């Protein structure tokens, strides 16, 4: 890009974009709206309270597979501990 193109680009940008006031900010305070949205999301994400955790078959299958791997390959125990 040569100097002529740079000057032309600069002039076009100055024509299209309005000058920015360094003290300009949002027209209103946005923090209360953010807090309302976070509260709404937290209320929607509240889990239902159960008396005890529910274990499904897949959890038991993973636990059994982990036991089988550690029994069949005892050298894998440090690797499993590292990832757990």
**Does 72 map to a domain?**
yes
Q: Which domain holds residue 75?
A: 57-84
In angstroms, the CA 33 to CA 41 distance is: 12
> pLDDT tens for residues 15-66?
898 887 777 777 788 889 999 999 888 887 776 666 677 778 899 999 999 9
Given this model, what pLDDT does residue 71 score? 93
Given this model, what pLDDT does residue 1 score? 67
Given this model, what pLDDT does residue 47 score? 67
70, pLDDT greater than 70 = yes
**Does 82 map to a domain?**
yes
In angstroms, the CA 12 to CA 16 distance is: 6
The first and second tokens of residue 65, run together, are 């597979």
The first and second tokens of residue 37, run together, are 């949205």
Number of domains in the chain: 1
The first and second tokens of residue 8, run together, are 């032309």
């Amino acid at each position: 890009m040569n100097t002529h193109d740079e000057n032309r680009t600069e002039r076009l940008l100055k024509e299209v974009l309005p000058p920015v006031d360094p003290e300009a900010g949002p027209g209103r305070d946005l923090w209360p709206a953010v807090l309302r949205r976070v509260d709404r999301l937290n209320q929607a994400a509240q889990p239902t309270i159960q008396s005890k955790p529910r274990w499904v078959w897949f959890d038991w299958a993973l636990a059994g597979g982990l036991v089988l791997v550690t029994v069949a390959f005892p050298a894998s125990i440090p690797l499993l501990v590292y990832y757990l």
